[in-house]
Amino acid sequence: MDPARCRSQLACCCGPAGCALCCGCCPKFRQSRSTRFMYALYFILVALLCCVMMSKTMPKEMKEHIPFYEDLCKGIKAGDTCQNLVGYSAVYRVCFGMACFFFIFCLLTLKINNSKSCRAHIHNGFWFFKLLLLGAMCSGAFFIPDQETFLNAWRYVGAIGAFIFIGIQLILLVEFAHKWNKNWTAGTASNKLWYASLALVTLVMYSIAAGGFILMAVFYTQKDGCVENKILLGANGGLCLLISLVAILPCVQNRQPNSGLLQSGLISCYVTYLTFSALSSKPVELVLDDRGKNVTICVPDFGQDLYRDENLVTGLGTTLLIACILYSCLTSTTRASSDALQGRYAAPELEVARCCFCFGPDGEDTEEQQNVKEGPRVVYDEKKGTVYSYSYFHFVFFLASLYVMMTVTNWFNYESANIETFFSRSWSIFWVKMASCWICVLLYLWTLVAPLCCPSRQFSV
């Protein structure tokens, strides 16, 4: 074997190098990105394992395809048909191991400001040993004594962590709305076309929100009945109107000149989406028709055929779920997001209006990336300091582990949960989405009225 190739593989498994070193055909990776990619890959593997464990067909498939299956199950003390390795209790144990993995690294990487320390090297490398550690922690959770007490206690810890994870995403959404308006408003000083952009985007978002509520009123309500749907649509539509009015009140404008309809339009769109998603997750109402047959009401007829192919719905739904969680994790672990949660923002005079303002301005690549044409596949972009908070990164993934656990096990309907019926209708999912909707509105309202309630404090959005 080529000694250079052997050294690169050893660096990938044991040293503080990105795994792009193992593949000469891979594009150049920044060290910070390759590290986050590897942790995300571990997260995906465990999340997929949890989805497999929640499949009701998995024990049957394993019994048919694994020789001496029952003897193997008895040998590892997993039950006669390995029932201890599937179901919600198994998912709780595996997610406990993954959560502990990220929590340990959260503590290990506290207050790291550069990538040259020993703890930073542990964070950025030793991938093979980390994989072994993650597997050992997930497996070791199956040997915790007094499983009943553990599962009951861990369920409430998981629920609290999952709600905190949702809360962080909602806070960042509100911060994103303010940042968007602030960035584009900064451009109006030099180019009046930014006014047209603001007006157009605001009009589009309010059109989407209004159109969404009108369509939901048409398809999710009927002349007689559907009282709950009518109340929810009226309440959430009224909240969208409320935040729009508050955003343009003179007293709010005096304290926050950057407040405007762009932010409230974006929040209204998100409220519309959550309302639709919640109504789609609500269990159907059955009534007897004139012939004495059960018929569903308050749901559109055209969407029923989509749920008939269980495998298609399960596959697409699982992929979408993991992708959304992963996107939330990676976007909320940037330095900008971490600063936003701590109330630190860039000075207004430093704002440069850009269409893609959520990414850094063009030409922000590091000196190493600009100058190095050939050589290593990893660009060490953290020589002068870390580009994101290591500890906060692991903390978000710790919360995401709890969110996966609660979501895959259908929150508090865990005993009857399985992955094939997870994407059907459930009261737990309905109320989680509705609560998220209302919390988002309250958070945005607080950012508007907080300067009025506490005039002596300085608020920046």
**Category of 346 on φ-ψ map: left (φ > 0), alpha (ψ -120 to 50) or beta:** beta
Place of tokens 């590892």: 76
**3-state secondary structure (DSSP) of residue 362:** coil
Q: Tokens at residue 224, please?
A: 């007689």
CA distances for 270 relative to 38, 176, 182, angstroms: 31, 12, 19
Place of tokens 């340990």: 104
Backbone angles phi, psi at 300, to 5 degrees: -70, 145
**3-state secondary structure (DSSP) of residue 400:** helix
3-class secondary structure per residue, 5-53: HHHHHHHHHHCCCCHHHHCCCCCCEEHHHHHHHHHHHHHHHHHHHHHHH
Backbone angles phi, psi at 294, to 5 degrees: -75, 130
Q: Tokens at residue 29, please?
A: 């990776």
- Alpha-carbon dihedral sign for residues 185, 187, 189, 194: negative
Give DSSP secondary structure letters for 258-285: T--HHHHHHHHHHHHHHHHHHHHHSPPE
Strands 285-288 and 294-297: antiparallel
**3-state secondary structure (DSSP) of residue 425:** coil
CA distances for 162 relative to 129, 159, 323, angstroms: 28, 5, 17
> For residue 174, which of 313, 293, 307, 267 has the smallest C-alpha distance?
267
At 137, which amino acid appears?
M
Kindly give the confidence (pLDDT) of every residue in the chain, 461 residues in length, as a single tens digit, with 9 standing for 90 and above: 555 555 555 555 555 454 544 445 555 666 777 888 889 899 999 988 888 888 777 767 776 767 666 666 766 666 666 666 778 888 898 999 999 999 999 999 898 887 778 888 888 888 889 999 999 999 888 888 877 888 889 999 999 999 998 888 888 888 888 888 887 787 777 777 888 888 899 999 999 999 999 999 988 888 777 888 899 999 999 999 999 999 988 888 888 877 888 889 999 999 998 898 888 888 877 666 666 665 666 777 655 554 444 555 556 656 766 777 777 666 666 666 555 555 555 555 555 666 665 555 543 444 444 444 444 556 666 667 777 888 888 998 999 899 888 888 888 777 766 665 656 667 888 888 899 999 999 999 988 888 887 766 655 55
At 172, which amino acid appears?
L
Q: Quick check: 91 and 53 in contact, CB under 8 A? A: yes
Quick count: other Cβ atoms within 10 Å of Cβ 258? 17
Q: Note the maximum CA span of the chain.
A: 81
Q: Quick check: 119 and 71 in contact, CB under 8 A? A: no
Beta bridge partners of 297: 285
- Alpha-carbon dihedral sign for residues 111, 396, 43, 100: positive
User: CA-based Rg of the chain, rounded to a whole angstrom?
Assistant: 25
Q: What is the pLDDT of residue 442?
A: 92
The angle at the Cα of 433, spanning 162 to 294, to the nearest 5 degrees, equals 130
Quick count: other Cβ atoms within 10 Å of Cβ 375? 9
Q: Quick check: 301 and 222 in contact, CB under 8 A? A: no
Q: What is the pLDDT of residue 367?
A: 45
